[in-house]
Structure 1
Amino acid sequence: MRLLPFSTPRLRALTLGVTAALLSLPAVAANQAPTVHVASGTLSGLHDAHSGLDEFKGIPYAAPPVGSLRWKAPQPVHAWQGVRAADHFGPRCMQRAVFSDMVFRSDGMSEDCLYLNVWAPAHTHGKKLPVLVYFYGGGFIAGDGSEPRYDGASLAQKGIVTVTVNYRLGVFGFLALPALAAESPHHATGNYGLLDQNAAMRWVKRNIAAFGGDPSKVTIGGESAGSMSVSAQMASPLSKGLMARAIGESGAVLGNLKPRPRKQAEAQGKTFEHQVGVHSLAQLRAMDASALLKATGAKDAPPFDPTIDGYFLPESPKAIYRAGKQAHIPLLVGSNSQEGYYGALLNGKAVTPANYRAAMEQRMGKHAAEALKLYPGNDAKQIEASGSALVGDQFIAFATWRWMHLQHQTGQAPVYYYYFDKARPAKRDGSAGPDWGAVHSGEIEYALGNLDGNHVFAWTDTDRNVSKTMEGYWANFIKTGNPNGDSLPHWPATAKSQGGLLRQVIGAHTHTRVDHDAPRYEFLERIAPDAHL
């Protein structure tokens, strides 16, 4: 075969034609970063050829809350020129290292932390996929959207645009002061972290279509303080219309976790101002962020958490839910089988009925006899179960139940109530065996499909099957407002049955049961002013 010289017109024309054809094809995903256009400019992300996902990390959704913007409601993000790289997580918000199970992939720590992250199936332009916006836990003092347990890739592979959000924490997110209320156009103070979440939800409403998401099909979800945040967003008039459904994993701003009255929050803020030795808001804003953060770790430092501020929360969440003023959207909510541990009740003493009774008398005071009927302890096994139940109820399960119960009563939408009971397996390094129940936060990796992102535990086939079931429920609910789907055990909406409420037990043997724990929670609510809650 005779080769034609490259300079022949015929080959030159053929070469140009092939080149033009190649240029007209979509860019090879592995070699070109995906781009999207949002209201503030163009973003360039990352493409994962293995998962088929586009990832955009460190997207600013509000202006940096620094300088004069410290302790102000989030302000609009400034537009940028050209293409902004969204290829790594932004900084985590200011926080002390208080939780050993938190693993961060963030770009350091800073007050400039109002960023979110998006995982989306590739080539979804023009599609209208359901969206999950997830808020991290951490007691409103720690956490970050970069944590591997919140990674959005697994749900995104199921056709869901997944978003994690950073919001201000501790003193930076929840300081309340009369001077802050005086300068506020709404005469409100505190709740800046919750307002950050609201701003992120508004950003999603405006921009998520660029990632293939449907702004009318947004589910907000979270765990612990993130779950409390979801209950607060549902209660706030500022967030109505920004979400279509909600997921709450262990926590609510109700019951013993209700927000502080504004006067109390402002008094605590003044106490903190005195403790750090300043005499004006200007001086407080001028303080170094690290110094402020360090001061919150003092033994006598006041708490910094949500407030009934008259704006984001015009009244108590209890009053809002009781009156049916909250968002009327489907809710998937529940808690875990070991939210607390009996050892915290016995304080190192032997597991005996006498020691248990003494501990209950100390903790419950004049209500001890009634408490012992609801949380009996006649032998070691019963003490371990009842003691753990009481500690877990008083910590977070009671508040979660109160949210479920009020939404079921007045929410005008289905509620799906769960009880997660899969204990995590032994640790890979052999340092600890499995827990007897599902500890607080232990469900996150199962629900979001992120077992492989946690290298501490030796996950088993049973764990993977439980995760497949739980993530399947979550994905179906995000898509339709109903967790049920093919190959999953049927999960009925909460309804009265046999003197209790239907509740789904999710674990190695997922099934529906009738929950009869309401008397425990009604008791705790009734005695709250007297007991050490």
Structure 2
Amino acid sequence: MGNGVWRCGAAIIALAVAMPAAAQQLPTAQTASGTVEGSVSPDGKVRVFAGIPYAKPPVGALRWQPPQAEAAWTGVRKATSFGNRCVQGGGFDDMVFRDPQQSEDCLYLNVWTSAASARAKLPVMVWIYGGGFQGGGSSEPRQDGAALAHKGVIVVSMNYRLGVFGFFSHPELIQESPHHASGNYGLLDQAAALAWVRKNIAAFGGDPNNVTIFGESAGSISVSAQMASPVSKGLFNRAIGESGGIAEWQTRMKPATETGKTGEAFAQAAGASNLAALRAMSTDQIIQATKAKKGLQFWPNVDGYFFPEDPMAIYAAGKQAHVPLLAGWNADEHRSYQYFQNLEPTQENYLKKLDEDFGADAPAVRKLFPGDTPEQIETSAHDLASALFITYSTWKWIELQGKTGGAPVYRYRFDQPIPQEPGKRPRGTHHASDITFVFGNLSARNLPWNADHQAMSDIMTSYWSNFAKKGDPNGPGLPVWPRYSPKAGYKVMHLQVRPGVKPQAKPAADRAQYELLDQLAQKRRD
């Protein structure tokens, strides 16, 4: 069968149908900035466009500036390899990259499309990776979009600035900004990628009016941030959050005036008396300066532009995006030994930790997180470690959206333990272990997967893609997933497959615990 070419206005996609990959004509698409040429997946069913620029390289005078529109090009630009990942000061042992290097020139995105024509108008899923806003990249094999694209969606992923390059603020940056804002450049990068999707995704067979943003950890926090920001208004229609929300435990997000002082002190310690001197420093000099300031991390702030006010206040007032939300977390985000910080898990040490973390409120916490037996200590320490790490913030986001978001909310808990890695401590359903399941990429990790794991992955890709298509995860052949609401009894979908067990919805068993933590967090924030 020959090649097919479909036209939709100025948009062109050349799609190979049934020829061996080596003999296929490479697919092309016409973006607003020029033509890109991609590649085809080994099975011939997915067209892959990698390393497409969505903004100018944020280097030189554009360092610590909002992303600028990408420059147009003539001819055909190759989009067959991933663009550089953004500079990151440290690494994460579970991250593997397929891009050339880390660089400040990193604002590239990728598209996986199974559209049969440019008129297909498939739903679009835009992925935001995690890494604590300090690391990560879109080239990781576990986040490859080809398998998920087989579910009738288009998958897009982007790189965004990290650490000091993505979240640095300084008084001079506030002065030079037309919005009197400083920081949040990484979040602005994400918004620019979403704007690129709205402008260009039709050329790849996507529907610009049916876009779902989804992410894990810092990517999930980013999803909740994009929902709160007026900058991203109208750029997406649904949201999925995996382990992370914008609500911070016990503290409020700092304003740019405060983070600017931290940035100014950092600049002085780095030997830069002003912003011009900072921009004149090399990438490596900036990274080395951050490493010299142990414990310093750059994080989103209330800049007055991306966040006009504290994002929790935005949610409380119902000013966020009123879109359907699917969100939850993993059963073992943190384990009990992480709460004890390598102390023996004794009752004495448990009570000591409660006093350290909660002070006068420790007795109230102990009532709902008891520690009278070794089993109770294990369970309570596990739950508290996870809550203080990331599950409380996710729960709070879900609750706020449910109260003021004006759209359906679906909550889950991922309960599928992954196989134990040789020579490592069992980690159960640990933080980020859901990513390979959501993308259908179990083979990205060399572990002894079985049929139950594969079945769980297929169910999750179906739930996630169904939600992207219609704002509801339910579909033929899938266990019913009810909305999370008081009327429905606050049902949580537990995602696990093993002999005699399949995904099922249960009333939230942790509501009293999170309500107590929320009361304590609110008291500390006030």
TM-score (norm 1): 0.91
CA distance in 2, matches of 1:51, 1:259: 47
Aligned AA (2:443): D
> What are the ranges of 5 or more consecutive residues in structure 2 without an aligned counterpart?
6-14
Q: Is the 8 A contact 2:151 2:461 kept in 1?
A: no
Query: In the alignment, which residue of structure 1 is the partner of 2:508?
Result: 515
Which of these residues, 218, 243, 246, is aligned with residue 250 of structure 1? 243
2:74 aligned with 1:84, yes or no? no
CA distance in 2, matches of 1:117, 1:438: 28
Residues 144 and 332 of structure 1: CA distance in aligned 2, closer, same or farther (over 3 Å): same
Superposition deviation, residue 47 in structure 1 = 1.3
Residues 357 and 51 of structure 1: CA distance in aligned 2, closer, same or farther (over 3 Å): farther
Which of these residues, 424, 436, 447, is aligned with residue 432 of structure 1? 424
SS in 2 for 1:260: coil
Superposition deviation, residue 322 in structure 1 = 0.8
CA distance in 1, matches of 2:515, 2:292: 35
SS in 2 for 1:99: coil
Larger Rg: 1
Which of these residues, 231, 237, 252, is aligned with residue 230 of structure 2? 237
Q: Is the 8 A contact 1:58 1:90 kept in 2?
A: yes
SS in 1 for 2:215: strand
Query: In the alignment, which residue of structure 2 is the partner of 1:362?
Result: 356
Superposition deviation, residue 51 in structure 1 = 4.4
CA distance in 2, matches of 1:381, 1:44: 58
Aligned AA (2:210): K
CA distance in 1, matches of 2:118, 2:248: 44
2:440 aligned with 1:446, yes or no? no
Aligned AA (2:496): G
Superposition deviation, residue 352 in structure 1 = 2.5
SS in 2 for 1:297: helix
Superposition deviation, residue 29 in structure 1 = 6.8
> What are the ranges of 5 or more consecutive residues in structure 1 without an aligned counterpart?
1-20
Which of these residues, 150, 156, 159, is aligned with residue 166 of structure 1? 159
Q: Is the 8 A contact 2:142 2:439 kept in 1?
A: yes
CA distance in 2, matches of 1:24, 1:322: 51
Residues 247 and 60 of structure 1: CA distance in aligned 2, closer, same or farther (over 3 Å): same
Aligned AA (1:474): W
Aligned AA (1:111): E
What's the Cα RMSD here?
2.0
Further displaced range: 22-31 or 466-475? 22-31
CA distance in 1, matches of 2:283, 2:417: 39
Alignment size in residue pairs: 507
SS in 1 for 2:198: helix
2:39 aligned with 1:46, yes or no? yes
Superposition deviation, residue 23 in structure 1 = 9.5
Q: Is the 8 A contact 1:247 1:333 kept in 2?
A: yes
Q: Is the 8 A contact 1:501 1:516 kept in 2?
A: no
Which of these residues, 385, 388, 411, is aligned with residue 391 of structure 1? 385
Aligned AA (1:372): R
Note the alpha carbon deviations across 1:127-178, whole angstroms, 9 max, x for none: 1000000000000000000011111011111111100110000000000111
Aligned AA (1:319): A
Residues 365 and 530 of structure 1: CA distance in aligned 2, closer, same or farther (over 3 Å): farther
2:330 aligned with 1:336, yes or no? yes
CA distance in 1, matches of 2:462, 2:522: 41
Aligned AA (2:434): E
**Residues 406-425 of structure 1: matches in 2 within 5 Å?**
406-425=400-419
Further displaced range: 343-352 or 462-471? 343-352
2:457 aligned with 1:464, yes or no? no
Aligned AA (2:354): M
Q: Is the 8 A contact 2:54 2:109 kept in 1?
A: yes
Q: Is the 8 A contact 1:364 1:531 kept in 2?
A: no
Superposition deviation, residue 343 in structure 1 = 1.2
**Residues 23-172 of structure 1: matches in 2 within 5 Å?**
30=21, 31=23, 32-121=25-114, 123-172=116-165
CA distance in 2, matches of 1:467, 1:93: 29
CA distance in 2, matches of 1:295, 1:255: 27
CA distance in 2, matches of 1:231, 1:84: 34
Residues 439 and 22 of structure 1: CA distance in aligned 2, closer, same or farther (over 3 Å): closer
Note the alpha carbon deviations across 1:89-112, whole angstroms, 9 max, x for none: 000000023310000011211100
CA distance in 2, matches of 1:110, 1:525: 40
Which of these residues, 473, 476, 479, is aligned with residue 486 of structure 1? 476
CA distance in 2, matches of 1:298, 1:370: 41
CA distance in 1, matches of 2:3, 2:208: 33
Superposition deviation, residue 344 in structure 1 = 2.4
SS in 2 for 1:308: coil
Q: Is the 8 A contact 1:342 1:388 kept in 2?
A: yes
Superposition deviation, residue 79 in structure 1 = 0.4
Superposition deviation, residue 529 in structure 1 = 7.5
Further displaced range: 410-419 or 256-265? 256-265
2:406 aligned with 1:375, yes or no? no
Superposition deviation, residue 449 in structure 1 = 0.9
Superposition deviation, residue 48 in structure 1 = 2.2
Query: In the alignment, which residue of structure 2 is the partner of 1:259?
Result: 253
Query: In the alignment, which residue of structure 2 is the partner of 1:275?
Result: 269
